[in-house]
């Protein structure tokens, strides 16, 4: 990915406004894993005045439920989960400071609006390439709800995770502009 932008998760608050839908990114830094069940628990915590299991301000959340690692591996297959299952909960996290969402698939209008409102981004990981995504993971630590198995919240340190900007802070949506550009090029 020679033309990809290298970004550290700690810099995303400053970098997000410069990214555009369709741009490729090599992401490094800390990501937290969370899927449906963990998102529901986080909403319950927020509803009762509790604290989330990770600092949401400036965070990167990867929608993934990795498979168990083999001996000598940090993580098993780590392909993205369909992001739409988190749509009802994502605007709340974005409003609390979440800057990066990583998954696959389209997002609803409320998520798109929250991305723009909060200067965030939604990045797509390559679906069906869980082994490739796993190669980017350098460390893994379960930090909340181990009873959820693969859906437990994990703290990952990643290096050069290959991603594509789908939703940008300016309202760009690759799922809309990409097909239009393809048809125009024909």
Active site residues: 39
Beta-bridge partner residues of 163:
25
**d(C-alpha 156, C-alpha 53), whole Å:** 14
**d(C-alpha 89, C-alpha 111), whole Å:** 9
DSSP, res 159 = E
DSSP, res 50 = P
Coil, helix or strand for 150? helix
């Amino acid at each position: 990915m020679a033309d990809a932008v290298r970004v550290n998760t700690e810099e995303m608050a400053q970098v997000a406004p410069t990214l555009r839908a369709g741009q490729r990114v090599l992401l490094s830094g800390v990501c937290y894993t969370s899927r449906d069940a963990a998102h529901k628990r986080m909403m319950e915590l927020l509803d009762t005045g509790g604290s989330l299991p990770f600092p949401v301000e400036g965070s990167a959340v990867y929608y993934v439920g990795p498979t168990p690692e083999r001996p000598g591996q940090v993580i098993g297959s780590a392909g993205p989960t369909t992001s739409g299952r988190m749509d009802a909960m994502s605007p709340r996290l974005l409003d609390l400071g979440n800057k990066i969402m990583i998954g696959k698939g389209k997002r609803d209008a409320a998520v798109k609006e929250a991305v723009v409102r909060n200067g965030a981004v939604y990045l797509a990981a390559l679906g069906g390439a869980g082994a490739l995504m796993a190669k980017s993971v350098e460390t893994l630590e379960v930090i909340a709800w181990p009873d959820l198995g693969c859906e437990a919240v994990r703290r990952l340190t990643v290096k050069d995770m290959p991603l594509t900007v789908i939703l940008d802070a300016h309202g760009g949506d690759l799922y809309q502009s990409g097909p239009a550009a393809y048809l125009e090029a024909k």
